[in-house]
Amino acid sequence: MFALIANGMLLARTAAGYLRGRSGSELGQDLIEYALLGGVIAVALAALITAGALTGALTSMADGISDCIDFSDAVGSECP
């Protein structure tokens, strides 16, 4: 019976030490920071697009792309 209690106490101490050591670790912190930065950039772009600030620029970019993709006359396309 004493051995069972001693083994349980040893297991509890080992688990507590492991958790204490892992709580101070900074593994994965940079990944979380990049994810947060990407989220902030995505929200800012969505706000600019819905506010209409980038609508003209996006329209002109799409028109330029559509001018370059001309399947009827591939020789005479006017792409820069």
Which position has the token pair 């001018």? 67
pLDDT digits (tens, 9 = 90+) for 43-58: 998 888 887 777 788 7
pTM (predicted TM-score): 0.43
Q: What is the mean pLDDT of each run of 10 residues along the chain (80 residues)?
A: 73 76 72 92 87 78 78 60
For the chain, the structural domain boundaries read: 2-68
Please give the single-letter amino acid code of residue 12. A
What is the structure's pLDDT at 37? 93
- Rounded CA gap, 20 and 69, in Å? 60
Single out the residue of 56, 34, 10, 68 nearest to residue 76, CA to CA. 68
Cβ atoms < 10 Å from Cβ of 79: 9
Alpha-helical runs (H) found in the chain: 2-23, 29-51, 55-68
